[in-house]
Amino acid sequence: MTGAGTGTVAVAPVAQAAEGRRADLARLSLNTATTKHLTLAEAAAAAADAGLSAIGVWRDRVQEVGAEQAARIVADQGLRVSSLCRGGFLTTPDPQAAAAALEDNRFAIREAATLGTHELIMVVGGLPACPAPGAGARPYPGDGAADPARDLVATRQRVADRIAELAPYAAEHGVRLVLEPLHPMFAADRAVVSTLGQALDLAAPFDADVVGVVVDTYHVWWDPDLQRQVARAGAEGRIASYQVCDWVLPLAAEPLNSRGHVGDGYVDFATITGWVRDAGYAGDVEVEIFNESIWADPADRTLATLAERHVRHVLPHL
């Protein structure tokens, strides 16, 4: 894999189908957020039964059983772990809270290594003015002065500083910190990094095998600079994951849960997938959906839909 500044496109290993699994689904990965109410054992069994070869795992499912047992569960189903979700939330100015966040991220790095995945997805965190994701803002200071808790520039600098603290530890464990830009509507509470270009700028000081980026169609489909930044990510060897789901309307009362199945909304999967392909990415394609109605569906129906939409809308352009 090439690093930054080489001017060549990185060629990643091609994801292969596990023995006895569907060849047309060789690169399709079930992210466990899509089957939120299933345990890891249930999600892994559902993925295997549907013919998939990979699963993307959220830490809540891992921590229900412990990382070593989680690794066995996945391996027993003949699956590989495409990524671990998530580390991050590194924006607090409070020294004690920052130390706790860094330690939790080190724990996540160790979990990823135990699971056998190279990729730890990082959602960097929102503004300190937001007490919790989705919560109302803390009030301005009473004197009318500028509020450091609303300072995006300083907050992003703390992200950069803390990625620098974590990068050597990740490298020691063979894990890559994978920065995920989130749609700007989540800048206040979940991620002050909103574009792929911003994520790449944060990654630039580090080796491409230590800090990378994820291209998530839900979060970046709107970006007028996306084609150029995907090409840049490929040239720098930094595309660590490709996640897909659709932008559907109307938005849910909780905007986070407004994702839809591929093909149900407005995302141009043919074009974006082609850009990712041309950038040299040949790894897994995770479907990560937050949606109350999809969570309520039977798992076999959800997996069947994932497979059908992958074959119809994504696979022809990989």
Instruction: Convert the pLDDT of each residue in 242-269 to its tens digit.
Output: 999 999 999 999 999 999 999 999 999 9
40 part of a folded domain: yes
Express as a percent the part of the chain with pLDDT over 90.
91
- pLDDT for residue 141: 84
Is residue 251 domain-resident? yes
Give domain status of residue 3, yes or no: no
216 lies in a domain?
Answer: yes
Predicted confidence at residue 292, as pLDDT, reads 97
- In contact, 65 and 43? CB cutoff 8 Å: no
Alpha carbon distance 90, 290 (integer Å): 23
Say if residue 40's pLDDT is above 90.
yes
- Let me know if residue 4 belongs to a domain: no
Burial of 121 (0-12, 13-18, 19+ CB in 10 A): buried
Give me the number of domains the chain comprises.
Answer: 1
In a domain, 81, yes or no: yes
How large is the average pLDDT for residues 56-82? Answer: 98
Domain boundaries, position 82: 23-133+145-317
Tell whether the model's pLDDT for residue 10 goes beyond 60. no
pLDDT at 254: 92
Using the predicted structure, report yes or no on whether residue 149 has a pLDDT greater than 60.
yes
The mean pLDDT value of the chain amounts to 95
Do 278 and 11 meet the contact criterion of CB atoms below 8 Å apart?
no
Give the pLDDT score at 19: 87
* Reported confidence tier of residue 8, pLDDT bands at 50, 70, 90: very low
Q: Answer whether residue 4 shows pLDDT above 50.
A: no
What's the rounded mean pLDDT across residues 62-91? 98
What the block records as the tokens of 13 is 């290993």
The whole-number pLDDT of residue 2 equals 39
Beta bridge partners of 215: 242
Query: Which residues partner with 176 through β-bridges?
Result: 119
248: in domain: yes
From residue 65, give the alpha-carbon distance in Å to each of 61, 68, 182.
7, 8, 29
Strands (E), 17-79: 28-31, 54-58
For the stretch 267-302, pLDDT in tens is 999 999 999 999 999 999 999 999 999 999 999 999
Kindly report the CATH number assigned to the domain that includes residue 94: 3.20.20.150
pLDDT of amino acid 12: 55
Q: Is 34 domain-assigned?
A: yes
Q: pLDDT at residue 114 above 60?
A: yes
pLDDT of 9 > 70? The answer is no
pLDDT score, position 51 = 98
Closest by Cα among 185, 179, 178 to 259: 185
Contact in structure between 56 and 31 (CB atoms under 8 Å):
yes
Spatial distance between the Cα atoms of 215 and 182, rounded to a whole number of angstroms: 10
Alpha helices in 237-285 (DSSP H): 269-278
pLDDT greater than 70 at residue 3: no
